[in-house]
Amino acid sequence: MGSRSKFEAWKCMNKFHCCVNLSPQPHYPSMTRYPNGTNNQKLESESESKAVFSVIGMTCSACAGSVEKAIKRLQGIREAFVDVLNDKALVLYHPAMVNKERICEAIEDAGFQAKSIDEESNDTSSQICRIHIKGMTCTSCSSTIESALKTIHGVQKARVALATEEAEICYDPNIVSHNQLMETIEDAGFEAILISTGEHISKIEFKVHGILNDESISAIEHSLKALPGVETIDIYPHINKITITYKPYMTGPRTFIQVIESTGSGCFRAVIFPNEGGRETHRQEEIKRYFKFFIWSLALTIPVFLTSMVLMYIPGVKHVLDMKVVNMLNIGLLLRWEFSTPVQFIIGMRFYIGSYKALRKGSANMDVLIALGTNAAYFYSVYVVARAAFSKDFEGSDFFETSAMLISFILLGKYLEVLAKGKTSQAIAKLMDLTPDTATLLTQDDEGNVISEQQIDSRLIQKNDVIKIVPGAKVASDGLVMWGKSHINESMITGEARPVAKRKGDMVIGGTVNENGVLHVKVTRVGSESALSQIVRLVESAQMAKAPVQKLADHISKYFVPLVILLSLSTWLSWFLAGQLHAYPKSWIPSSMNSFELALQFGISVMVIACPCALGLATPTAVMVGTGVGATQGVLIKGGKALESAHKVNCIVFDKTGTLTVGKPVVVTTKLFKNMSLQDFYEFVAAAEARVNSEHPIGKAIVEHAKKTTEYHEQNHPLPEASHFVSVSGHGVKAIVKNKEIMVGNKKLMLDHNISISVDAVEMLAEAEKLAQTGILVSLDGEIAGVLAVSDPLKPDAKQIISILNSMKIRSIMVTGDNWGTANSIARQAGIETVIAEAQPEAKAIKVKDLQSSGYTVAMVGDGINDSPALVAADVGMAIGAGTDIAIEAADIVLMKSNLEDIIIAIDLAKKTFSRIGLNYIWALGYNLLAIPIAAGVLYPFTRFRLPPWIAGAAMAASSVTVVCSSLLLKNYKRPKMLENLDINGIKIG
């Protein structure tokens, strides 16, 4: 934005001016909202108040959109502008209807921290770090970690996702470090592994060959720190490893290698350290660890099981097992004690550690339930051993098999669970694997001639490098085509199946495949800045975000474990007292037990079967799989909240240009009304329109046509300079070119400036409207100089998509800034009945709010730039069209292929995902509601059926695995059958 601040841009925008080269974050013009029955004129006459808020936790424009949407839905808000770069929000409001406290509450409800700026004595900076967490078992664990992190001074926001096993923390690096955050997680009883320390920070590790002593380490560190963009340097001399975090747009890994190797008179050689990190590696380690624990536990449990339940029925073996060692202590009991003890205290140590640290923090989790249940069985059995050893007539049953088998089955369940959970994040793993391992780096002279080629590791690519892409190879990084022609298959990124033609000046995306032809590409984005990294980060963020429906599960889980412990104790006490008071016949007690032991088994069964793991996994696993499937379909869904809103949509508001139409307008007719050459005419038009930076499709079409007409060449025939440029939002532009005032725009622009429109010009406009063309008037020094007719045809599948939406009982409305004639013509072709034309951005948003007040759940489909006010106001904003800035669009859902059919896919996928979430909750809650009474022995008086604790443990583990597998079924998602009959599924204009 240059030297102008975003708040200055906002002021400028309110005067219907448009600043050039604004920040890529969309801005959201004024939208007034009044409650029913309010006197609007009275409110307008009241003095408005202005407040600036500090908003902590925003990381991208999607966050800014969420904050702005939350504020603007309040009654009495006149304007809200969110500055994501400076973590601030400017709000104009009517103090009679809303106050600062209520605005703060709305921002906090959206998931961010807010304070009025005048309440803060010091400005705070913020940084995002992501940490992988090992050892979480249920939502109680994630809640414990969240609470611990939020109590740290300097932490602004923390969220922990059970399904992804990650924490995302927004903190002030001036107050607290990421190492302190990791220590806090470890103090809570979990293992923490740092993933990243910033949104736009890259990390690389080098292995240095050579002797690293204190002197050389100091020299290397000093040299590296002198480089611009270097953030942190960590040196590990014992393994010859150097870790560097840096800003990829300022420096790069090859520079680091040069600095390291030039230090110490060239006695060092640096190479990229073998990759040992990554989410998938940690997941595989966790799977191996659980498998190892389960195998050892099983090996020790099988003898316990055999001696207690199988071998005792074999006459010869039974005699050996019953042989007395001391008094009533026999060999079988002694063997069970010896085999079950390492299972309880060595393999089961993780449950003791987890429960101790959870209880120390004042919470209870699954580990507490397991530790209580297994300890009750084990130590009662030890009591039986002691009594048998010191008594000559004691007869009692041990429960060693209960504790050992319970731990074995729980470990089996956790192994199957982490195995299944690993598959929920396969979409991210596939995206991350798209980048090729190597790239061909070109060295060029000043004239652009290739001097040499070099094969390098793709992680060594830096900004402004020129790389060579041969046919069949993957594009190594985002960049600009400098030489060559080819077709690129972008389906792995955008979901678009058709190869896209690329030539000099076109952008290419890292991870896509070059179909034919050789390309020389200048790298523009690397590391965390690349489109692929942004998409991965967006999907990861979506999988971290909690759906509103998950709040219910988190609330239940908070009280669930203490309630289960209470129920377990009540069950044991009820059955024990009933036995002591002879409230049931002695025949109910198995021959191998007494009333205390029967009661103890019922109590343990209740404790272990009612774990809330399945409840905690119901939503996040479904959201993970749903958003992952969406990414592979070219539909980026930004988290559970977007899914929850999308499945309720019953009204869709469409923009026209680029949404319902192809979005590639062309000038089809030009008519002059002044005595001047066509070349001179278009020279004026191009000079004015080019000043807009060609962001609007129609403006771009006019500039391209003008360039062809004037044989414009940037070096040989530059366009004249345009001064005093003004963009009138929704109407056109005006400027001074060659000392003449030129206006290019619609009829309203001319009438507002008292420019008379001739009858011939009016007739030409009317004729263009009948043909569904947009008429553009051009005036010079207050007189109409000519009329342009611009045609933007309807997308071939638009009519069928609208028809399908009608069959789904979803209302379709078109809102456009174009004239009524063109709008009505396009709407008739598409089959849309309700049309609003000549609408400025604010009017689109107001229409969305009117529909919401009428009871509709509204989705707005637009390009994400001019339609941003409506995208923010809608329940679900859908940005159609994707580029390399995909991750910073302020929409809830991004349709990357620009195909209208993806609207239906997005809604259908949201319905399927949310339906799966509902099914998961029914299973998880229903399982507990059904299983707890059975475990407590409700059926025992009638059927003599009871659940032994080890079977209860197996059932508990099976419930979690079932919920995860239920979510995994979403991976089989297929596009709706109603789309299979489309004649054309999409269109691509080269």
pLDDT at 917: 87
Q: Which residues on neighbouring strands pair with residue 636, listed in sequence order?
A: 894
What's at 851, amino acid-wise?
L
Give tens-digit pLDDT for 868-880: 677 778 888 888 7
Between the alpha carbon of residue 936 and those of residues 436, 449, 600, 614, 772, the distances in Å are 57, 81, 10, 20, 73
pLDDT band at 91 (very low <50, low <70, confident <90, very high): confident
Asked whether residue 810 carries a pLDDT value surpassing 50, the answer given is: yes
- The share of the chain scoring above pLDDT 90, in percent, equals 8
Give CA–CA dist 524/543, Å, rounded.
28
Q: Can you list the alpha helix ranges (DSSP code H) found in 188-252?
A: 214-225
Is 293 or 44 the better-scoring residue by pLDDT? 293
Which residue reads 């969309």 in tokens?
A: 26
CB-CB contact of 614 with 961 (8 Å): no
Q: How is domain 127-197 classified at the architecture level of CATH?
A: 2-Layer Sandwich (3.30)
Asked whether residue 537 carries a pLDDT value surpassing 80, the answer given is: no
Least Cα distance to 601 among 591, 593, 610, 613 occurs for 593
Give CA–CA dist 160/162, Å, rounded.
6
CATH of domain 439-528: 2.70.150.10
Average pLDDT over residues 145-159: 86
pTM of the model: 0.62
Q: Do domains 49-117 and 127-197 have the same CATH topology?
A: yes
Please give the DSSP secondary-structure letter assigned to residue 240: T
- Candidate from 59-68, 518-527, 609-618 with smallest mean pLDDT: 59-68
**Side-chain-facing half-sphere of 119: CA atoms under 13 Å:** 11
Topology (CATH) of 202-272: Alpha-Beta Plaits (3.30.70)
- Determine how β-strand 651-654 pairs with β-strand 858-862: parallel
pLDDT at 407: 87
- The share of the chain scoring above pLDDT 70, in percent, equals 82
* Measured distance between the N- and C-terminal CA atoms of the chain, rounded to whole angstroms: 30
As a whole number, the mean pLDDT across the chain is: 78
Q: Can you list the alpha helix ranges (DSSP code H) found in 201-278?
A: 214-225, 253-262
Between the alpha carbon of residue 53 and those of residues 117, 127, 560, 760, 896, the distances in Å are 5, 18, 38, 54, 33
With 0-12 / 13-18 / 19 or more C-beta atoms within 10 angstroms meaning exposed / middle / buried, residue 734 is buried
Average pLDDT over residues 470-479: 89
Average pLDDT over residues 484-493: 81
Give CA–CA dist 57/66, Å, rounded.
12
> From 3.90.550.10, 3.40.50.300, 3.40.50.1000, 3.10.590.10, which CATH number describes the 635-661+795-901 domain?
3.40.50.1000
With 0-12 / 13-18 / 19 or more C-beta atoms within 10 angstroms meaning exposed / middle / buried, residue 616 is buried
With 0-12 / 13-18 / 19 or more C-beta atoms within 10 angstroms meaning exposed / middle / buried, residue 737 is buried
Give CA–CA dist 700/506, Å, rounded.
15
What's at 634, amino acid-wise?
G
Residue-wise DSSP of 471-498 = TTPBP-SEEEEEE--EEEE-HHHH---S
Topology (CATH) of 49-117: Alpha-Beta Plaits (3.30.70)
Composition of the chain by helix, strand, coil, percent to 5: 50, 20, 30
Q: What's the per-residue H, E or C state across 392-414?
A: CCCCCCCCHHHHHHHHHHHHHHH
Handedness of CA 152, 155, 161, 166 (dihedral sign): negative
> From 3.30.470.20, 3.40.50.2300, 3.40.1110.10, 3.30.70.100, which CATH number describes the 666-791 domain?
3.40.1110.10
Give CA–CA dist 335/840, Å, rounded.
83
Asked whether residue 119 carries a pLDDT value surpassing 50, the answer given is: no
What's at 240, amino acid-wise?
N
CB-CB contact of 220 with 263 (8 Å): yes
What's at 258, amino acid-wise?
Q
Is 410 or 583 the better-scoring residue by pLDDT? 583
For the chain, give the longest Cα–Cα distance.
125
Asked whether residue 431 carries a pLDDT value surpassing 80, the answer given is: no
Structure tokens given for 62: 């999607």
Write out the H or E segment, with its range, that includes residue 297: helix 279-309
Is 13 or 466 the better-scoring residue by pLDDT? 466
E strands within 840-892?
A: 858-862, 876-880
Q: Is 655 among the residues known to form the active site?
A: yes
Q: Exposure pattern of 178-204 as b/e (b: 16+ CB <10 Å)? A: beebbebbeebbbebbebbbbbebbbb
Least Cα distance to 648 among 353, 935, 338, 913 occurs for 913
Give CA–CA dist 728/745, Å, rounded.
9
Give CA–CA dist 157/60, Å, rounded.
15
Give CA–CA dist 618/959, Å, rounded.
11
Residue ranges of domains in the chain: 49-117, 127-197, 202-272, 276-363, 439-528, 548-622+911-972, 635-661+795-901, 666-791
CB-CB contact of 968 with 423 (8 Å): yes
Give CA–CA dist 474/439, Å, rounded.
9
Write out the H or E segment, with its range, that includes residue 307: helix 279-309
Helices (H) and strands (E) in the chain, counts: 32, 36
- Candidate from 104-108, 275-279, 509-513, 750-754 with smallest mean pLDDT: 275-279
Please give the DSSP secondary-structure letter assigned to residue 470: -
Asked whether residue 969 carries a pLDDT value surpassing 70, the answer given is: yes
Which residue reads 């063997």 in tokens?
A: 335
From the candidates 655, 818, 867, 892, which is the catalytic residue? Answer: 655
SS3 for 853?
helix
Q: Can you list the alpha helix ranges (DSSP code H) found in 518-591?
A: 531-544, 550-580
Q: Which backbone phi and psi does 840 adopt, to 5 degrees?
A: -75, 165
Other CB atoms within 10 Å distance of the CB of residue 413: 23
Handedness of CA 934, 939, 945, 948 (dihedral sign): positive
CB-CB contact of 416 with 961 (8 Å): yes
